[in-house]
Amino acid sequence: MRLARIGVLLSGRGSNFQALAEACEAGVLPAKIAVVVSNVEDAGGLDHARRLGLDAVAVAHRGLQRTEHERLVDETLREQDADWVCLAGYMRLLSPWFVDRWKWRIVNIHPSLLPSFPGLHVHEQVLDYGARVSGCTVHLVDGGMDTGPIVTQRAVAVEDGDDPAKLAARVLEQEHLAYPEAMRRLLTESWRVQGRRLVFGPAIDG
């Protein structure tokens, strides 16, 4: 059976990409990392991908319009025959054109329990608000920011002595479990999107 081919988009260190790559390598996730693409030329995640012998491509966005940049990213993904796009710390919003072209094939991980605390500076927001529970969310990408149907979530208790770095580290541990687990379910189970819900299991007629 042909393994699903995942294209990873990242902008930074890429620890979530590494978790996905390890799960593929271990056979836990029946997939192969087809290519790693970054808009940041010196992203740590690109170096790591190269060390693993994976295709790693920088597609700089500087000087390009969003759609021009996305067309190049899209070409790179298609050249490598990707079926899925996993965002792993990709710090750019995707246009409706790109989201539509990869409809329900783009997955993102966000370091909070959505819909609470979307966007940036998440752990600061959580601590400023005084939330007692945080966590992470893996979701399909729709046209909004951090708004698509949820695949899985993992909760993390907020401790009294937390600062953003401490909380981020504990959430990140859960991210590394959640992302491969969510991808495994998407690849091995049947599912559909009903309204804003992602429902696992075969569709029931009538």
Stretch that binds ligand GRF, among 1-9, 33-41, 61-69, 108-116 (CB under 6 A): 108-116
Q: Per CB under 6 A, does 15 bind ligand GRF? A: yes
Phi/psi region, residue 85 (left: phi>0; alpha: psi -120 to 50; beta: rest), is beta
Decide: is 109 part of the binding site for ligand GRF (CB under 6 A). yes
Residue 88 as a binder of ligand GRF (CB under 6 A): the answer is: yes
Query: Given the structure tokens 């400023």, which residue do they identify?
Result: 128
List CB contacts of 145: < 8 A, sequence separation 6 or more: 93, 118, 119
Residue from the set 5, 12, 92, 185 that interacts with ligand GRF by CB under 6 A: 12
Strands (E), 80-182: 84-87, 106-110, 133-140, 150-157
Please give the Cα distance from 167 to 156 (Å, whole number). 9
106: helix, coil or strand? Answer: strand
Q: Binding ligand GRF by CB under 6 A: which of 7, 89, 148, 180? A: 89
| Residues constituting the chain | 206
Residue 16 binds ligand GRF (CB under 6 A): yes
Instruction: Give yes or no for residue 142 binding ligand GRF (CB under 6 A).
Output: no
Pair of tokens at residue 81:
């025959």
Q: Does 70 bind ligand GRF (CB under 6 A)?
A: no
Q: How far is the CB of 18 from ligand GRF (least distance, A)?
A: 8
Catalytic residue numbers, as ranges: 110
The least CB distance from residue 201 to ligand GRF, in Å, is 27
